[in-house]
Amino acid sequence: MSIQAPTEDTRWRCTLCGNLTRFDVTRTTKAVEFTHLDLAGAPRVEEREIVSDEIESVRCRWCNATDSVELVARPDAT
């Protein structure tokens, strides 16, 4: 089950404890990267393009609840 990421107008909220600020997010990201190796062989990513990014689960850091996080409107959203 995937959950939507917060937007400019929404944020996550735990329905069990009311937490709005601390979450553990498990996600799968697929990216294409241009990696530059210096002469010593140390890599440095110079460009990164996200091909797909899926949030698989969000766990509340306060009460460890899973499947209890919802998107709610931000108080300052118009």
pLDDT digits (tens, 9 = 90+) for 11-43: 999 999 999 999 999 999 999 999 999 999 999
Nearest alpha carbon to residue 26 among 64, 54, 63, 45: 54
| Summary mean pLDDT of the chain | 93
Average confidence (pLDDT) over 45-72:
94
Say if residues 12 and 69 touch (Cβ distance below 8 Å). Answer: yes
Q: How far is CA 51 from CA 8, 31, 33, 60, in A?
A: 22, 5, 10, 27
% pLDDT > 70, the chain: 95
Confirm whether 16 is domain-assigned.
yes
Confirm whether 78 is domain-assigned.
no
Confirm whether 5 is domain-assigned.
no
Confirm whether 4 is domain-assigned.
no
Say if residues 73 and 60 touch (Cβ distance below 8 Å). Answer: no
pTM (predicted TM-score): 0.74
Give me the domain span that covers residue 16.
10-73
What was the pLDDT predicted at 73?
A: 93
Number of domains in the chain: 1
